[in-house]
Chains A and B, each alone.
Chain A
């Protein structure tokens, strides 16, 4: 059983640059989630998809952030004009449709904005 994978695992960028992260969920999971985790804090919900539809976005997701899941499989999270405050671990999770099932998390992408 292949788990949730994320790429890249680490990204260092300069302020103002754009970055894109990829998440591949567990294959039969139609719900996909993005979270952000800063040092010493719990993960914070950003957005989620049911198949290709983006159903909810957190207030944390500023207009510099955009997420897509074009074919209901993998998802991308893009951050435009990165700021130092964007430095964090970006986590992806997935789960099947059935209500209440736990979310399975990927290893995360650690972003450092210089």
Chain B
């Protein structure tokens, strides 16, 4: 069975601070995909990043960066110089790397990020 744990239910920071959202996952698959999605107050899930389990290279996209560590089963997400528009619920998700099935995403419970002006 797959499991994603986001231990931080809610984080509140002041604008321009850096913030890291934690994600720990469990899977028996040797190859898998990890994702981060953003759910703003409007409700629609927005894709942010996908990471393959065989690619541990960290990634930076503007103010966003992701740290994938297979040894600790973690896929953490950092926002640098946070902005009020970053306020949202952020979900980490996992899917198996299989051809015929087990294709649905397993989501964590999400971290509600509040950026105060």
Residues of A within 8 A of B (CB): 31, 33, 35, 40-48, 55-56, 58, 89, 91, 93, 99-108
Contacts and interface: CB of A to CB of B under 8 A. Distances in A.
Interface in B30-78: 33, 35, 37, 42-47, 50, 52
Given A55-B100, A99-B99, A104 B47 contact: yes
Binding site of B, secondary structure by majority: helix, strand, loop or mixed?
A: loop
Nearest to A55: B101
Interface string B66-106: 00000000000000000000000001010001011111111
Interface of B: 4, 33, 35, 37, 42-47, 50, 52, 91, 93, 97, 99-110
Contacts of A105: 37, 44-47
A43 B45 contact: yes
A99 B106 CA distance: 16
B104 A42 contact: no
B43 A56 contact: no
Nearest to B49: A102
B97 A100 contact: yes
